[in-house]
Amino acid sequence: MAIAYTGGKTNQTELQEIQREIYSDFGTFRDMDIDISEGHKSGTDVYESKVAVGMKAYTGVAVVAGSDSLAVSKSSVATTKVEFSDLIDYNSLLDTRFERSMARGAFNTVSNEFDNAVLQQITPAISQTVENDIWNGATAATKTAIAALTPGAAQGSISAGAQTLIAAAPVNLIDSIPTVVLHNASQAKVTPGAGLGDYKKVLSIATIDAASIAAEYSKLYATLDPKVLANERVVIFAPLAHRQLMMIANNSVGAASNKNFIFSGEGMDAKAYYNGIEVKFKPLVGFMIAAPSKYLKLLMDLTGDVSRLEVDKQANGSDFYYYKNVQAFAAWCTNQRYITVYGG
């Protein structure tokens, strides 16, 4: 890691506190907003079942074979092993404010003040990166596959707008949850194997701002499967900016009128609801996803890997130190026909 220190030599007086960057933590993991499962080092098999039965007239005779079906499908999901790592050169901190916290002796260049004030930001920065990648981005291979799909306006086809969003998304080492919903290799789909997901999409969408956000959420709500609403706890996963847009929309309605978005609590801990459905804000770009949270999955080797950071000195007499974090995970989805996508 190239330690970028700007400002030259120290002055006689200085502001003691080092102002830090703002990092959002791994909220998806902290709040268990989706189904997070561990113990998957290289991958796992995900099973789904479907049962179809039909009513027949009573005969009172021996049962004969009918058209009922009991189907179980297995989808193999591979996790991707990734790392965050770099070198740390403490020598670049010589002749700076951090020098005074170095122990005496030319061999000693580790700065406790630097470690406590700056190096500790690595873990939350890693958490934020993982959070971003889980909700936005796609591998190069999946970008190519989605671009090759034939777009259409009807259900059962991807929208041209979704293809544009995926094309503009970051190239990541893993596919994000929206990407997996749009394109996956599930064996439980109507057409098993790699290809378009079985999700349900909002057919007509518009640019979301404070004036239009209520109308666009109404479209999403109207597209939800009534059976899911009646039997499962549905959650709407929405872009971070929607929280402010909801507040502005509520303010413009006026205190005497019914508000479209209900907030429970105050500040950053306030929970948002639309028509009784909780809205959770994530680093999504262009997409909203409405589904029972258990249908959206994050498969991991060990959940504690998110915050484990190894810092040590390089071998072979080097003055450099290093930091390293290693994780293995994959996003996945099940019961896709009950997942509704705005922007899909």
pLDDT at 95: 85
Residue 230's contacts (CB-CB under 8 Å, 6 or more residues apart) are: none
Strand stretches in the chain, DSSP E: 35-37, 43-52, 69-78, 80-88, 183-184, 195-196, 200-201, 234-239, 261-264, 271-274, 277-282, 288-292, 296-300, 310-313, 321-333, 340-342
Phi, psi of 277 (to 5 degrees): -100, 130
Lowest mean pLDDT among 5-9, 147-151, 169-173, 310-314: 5-9
**Domains in the chain, number:** 1
The residue-averaged pLDDT of 49-60 equals: 91
Per residue in 203-252, pLDDT (tens digit) is 999 999 999 999 999 999 999 999 999 999 999 999 999 999 999 999 88
Across the chain, mean pLDDT equals: 89
pLDDT at 2: 61
Per residue in 15-29, pLDDT (tens digit) is 455 555 555 556 787
pLDDT at 248: 92
d(CA 146, CA 157): 11
63: in domain: no
pLDDT at 218: 96
pLDDT at 8: 58
Residue 36's contacts (CB-CB under 8 Å, 6 or more residues apart) are: 28, 29, 297, 298, 300, 303
19: in domain: no
Per residue in 301-337, pLDDT (tens digit) is 998 898 888 888 888 888 888 899 999 999 999 999 9
Q: b or e along 209-242 (b: 16 or more beta carbons within 10 Å of the residue's beta carbon)?
A: eeeebbebbeebbebbbeebbeebebbbbbbeeb
Pairing mode of beta strands 43-52, 35-37 = unpaired
The residue-averaged pLDDT of 266-288 equals: 93
pLDDT at 281: 95
Q: In this predicted model, which residue has the larger pLDDT, 299 or 253? A: 299
| Domain interval for residue 39 | 27-45+76-342
The residue-averaged pLDDT of 35-54 equals: 92
pLDDT at 13: 44
315: in domain: yes
37 exposure class (CB count in 10 Å sphere: 0-12, 13-18, 19+): middle
The residue-averaged pLDDT of 187-194 equals: 93
Q: How far is CA 50 from CA 35, 136, 166, in A?
A: 20, 30, 31
286: in domain: yes
Q: What percent of the chain has pLDDT over 90?
A: 63
d(CA 332, CA 46): 9
61: in domain: no
Torsion of CA 259, 265, 266, 267, to 10 degrees: -90
326: in domain: yes
Per residue in 101-133, pLDDT (tens digit) is 889 998 888 888 888 877 788 888 898 999 999
pLDDT at 146 over 80: yes
The residue-averaged pLDDT of 187-216 equals: 94
Single out the residue of 77, 30, 47 nearest to residue 174, CA to CA.
Answer: 77
84: in domain: yes
Q: b or e along 159-187 (b: 16 or more beta carbons within 10 Å of the residue's beta carbon)?
A: beebbebbeebeebebbbbbbbbbbbebe
Single out the residue of 297, 279, 298 nearest to residue 342, CA to CA.
Answer: 279
Per residue in 60-88, pLDDT (tens digit) is 999 998 899 889 999 999 999 999 999 98
Residue 234's contacts (CB-CB under 8 Å, 6 or more residues apart) are: 224, 228, 277, 290, 291, 292
d(CA 112, CA 147): 50
pLDDT at 9 over 80: no
d(CA 33, CA 42): 23
Torsion of CA 79, 132, 269, 295, to 10 degrees: -40
Structure tokens belonging to residue 124: 């939350």
